[in-house]
């Protein structure tokens, strides 16, 4: 069957993630009431990215995004995945002709918010050790102390929650203790959620924190950037969740989540068998 490309009355925005973490960015765009049509692409056939080799991701991410742009006639793509952004953002931008918005840990706003001078950074195990993260902290940390913790299994716990399952509470406890039990952890007053999956389980993390803290993620900043890039093209109507895409074939769990989230249709996206 030959699929017709969608008719366009206003900008098409493609939100890309390894799984369903991009839904936190979709939430931010909906809350900002951007006049766009939204599409979400989950590379579920390769989830989780944090367990894959960097070299493989540098090849795969641009190819999957190109296929997503072709399928949705996207005018702007949001790489709503920290791992993909840190590894492949430049590659993606060099291979497509539309604006590409990446996501980075929200170090700068956290540095402006902290009162104690100590920030907690909750990220995937690979993200906390990347030189890219070191550079962000050096450039935007404003001399603040940043305590890092690589949370094992937290993105998967968010996926389980979205699917209606009960995640293992030990995963949330380990994430919280990994930050607050460090030397200096008693001074943390702002926590950066440096993976788009993590805002989806913020309530679970917040319930286990030993005291109230400020939680920061990149969703609002991404929505503002998209609004700036598309400001002359959007209308005044609310965003519409058009179509969800998944690379996982007959992925019924992801399909149920995306339909339940409000997307009108969900379908499989075919990518090169060589990836």
Structure tokens at 149: 């913790």
pTM above 0.95, yes or no: no
Instruction: Specify the DSSP class assigned to residue 3.
Output: P
Evaluate whether 49 touches 197 at the Cβ level (below 8 Å): no
- DSSP state letter for 116: S
CA-based nearest residue to 252, from 264, 272, 266: 266
Which residues are tagged catalytic? 81, 195
Task: Return the pLDDT at 122.
Answer: 97
Cα gap 44→53, rounded to integer Å: 16
Instruction: Report the alpha-carbon distance of residue 216 to residue 114 in Å, rounded.
Output: 11
- Residue 8 pLDDT level (bands cut at 50, 70, 90): low
Query: Using the 8-state DSSP alphabet, how is residue 216 labeled?
Result: E
CA angle, 67 as apex, 20 and 10 as ends, to 5°?
80
Q: How confident is the model at residue 6 (pLDDT cuts 50, 70, 90)?
A: low
d(CA 249, CA 268): 5
pLDDT at 2 over 90: no
Per-residue pLDDT at 50: 80
- 16 φ/ψ angles, rounded to the nearest 5 degrees: -110, 135
- Give CA–CA dist 125/91, Å, rounded: 23
Considering only 4-8, 54-58, 85-89, 252-256, which range has the smallest mean pLDDT?
A: 4-8
Would you state the pLDDT for residue 19? Answer: 95
What is the mean predicted confidence (pLDDT) over 48-53?
86
Query: Chain-centre distance of CA 217, in angstroms?
Result: 10
pLDDT for residue 251: 82
Rounded percentage of the chain residues whose pLDDT exceeds 70: 96
For the stretch 148-165, pLDDT in tens is 999 999 999 999 999 999
Q: What percent of the chain has pLDDT over 90?
A: 85
What is d(CA 56, CA 46) in angstroms, rounded to the nearest whole number? 10
Average the pLDDT over 252-260 and give the result. Answer: 94
Q: How many CA atoms lie within 13 A of 47 on its CB side?
A: 27
201-251 confidence digits (pLDDT tens) = 999 999 999 999 999 999 999 999 999 999 989 988 899 999 999 998 778
Q: Which of 12-21, 65-74, 158-167, 242-251 has the lowest mean pLDDT?
A: 242-251
**57 CB contacts (<8 Å, ≥6 apart)?**
49, 83, 84, 87, 88
Spatial distance between the Cα atoms of 208 and 213, rounded to a whole number of angstroms: 11
**Measuring CA to CA, how many Å separate 43 from each of 19, 151, 188, 205?**
6, 21, 34, 26
| Whole-number pLDDT of residue 236 | 85
Q: What's the average model confidence in pLDDT over 114-124?
A: 97
Average pLDDT over residues 97-111: 96
Backbone φ and ψ for 7, nearest 5 degrees, come out as -70, 150
Cβ contact 31:238 at 8 Å: no
Q: Which domains does the chain have, with CATH numbers?
A: 12-103+220-268 (3.40.50.1860), 107-217 (3.40.50.1860)
Cβ neighbours around 43 below 10 Å, total: 27
User: Does the pLDDT value for residue 53 go beyond 70?
Assistant: yes
């Amino acid at each position: 069957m030959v699929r017709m490309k969608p008719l366009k009355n206003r900008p098409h925005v493609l939100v890309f993630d390894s799984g369903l973490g991009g839904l936190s960015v979709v939430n931010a765009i909906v809350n900002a009431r951007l006049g766009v049509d939204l599409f979400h692409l989950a590379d579920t056939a390769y989830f989780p990215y944090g367990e894959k080799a960097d070299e493989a991701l540098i090849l795969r991410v641009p190819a999957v995004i190109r296929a997503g742009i072709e399928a949705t006639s996207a005018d702007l793509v949001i790489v709503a995945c920290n791992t993909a952004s840190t590894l492949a953002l430049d590659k993606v931008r060099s291979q497509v002709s539309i604006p590409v918005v990446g996501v980075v840990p929200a170090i700068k706003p956290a540095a402006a918010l902290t009162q104690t001078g100590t920030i907690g950074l909750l990220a995937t195990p690979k993200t906390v050790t990347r030189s890219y993260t070191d550079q962000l902290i050096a450039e935007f940390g404003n001399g603040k102390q940043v305590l890092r913790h690589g949370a094992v299994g937290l993105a998967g716990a968010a996926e389980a929650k979205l699917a209606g399952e009960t995640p293992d509470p030990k995963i949330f406890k380990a994430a919280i203790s990994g930050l607050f039990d460090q030397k200096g952890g008693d001074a943390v007053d702002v926590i950066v959620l440096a993976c788009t999956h993590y805002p989806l389980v913020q309530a679970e993390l917040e319930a286990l924190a030993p005291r109230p803290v400020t939680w920061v993620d990149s969703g609002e900043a991404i929505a503002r950037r998209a609004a700036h890039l598309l400001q002359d093209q959007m209308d005044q109507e609310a965003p519409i969740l058009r179509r969800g895409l998944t690379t996982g074939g007959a992925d019924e769990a992801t399909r149920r989540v995306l339909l339940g989230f409000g997307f009108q249709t969900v379908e499989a996206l075919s990518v090169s068998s060589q990836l």
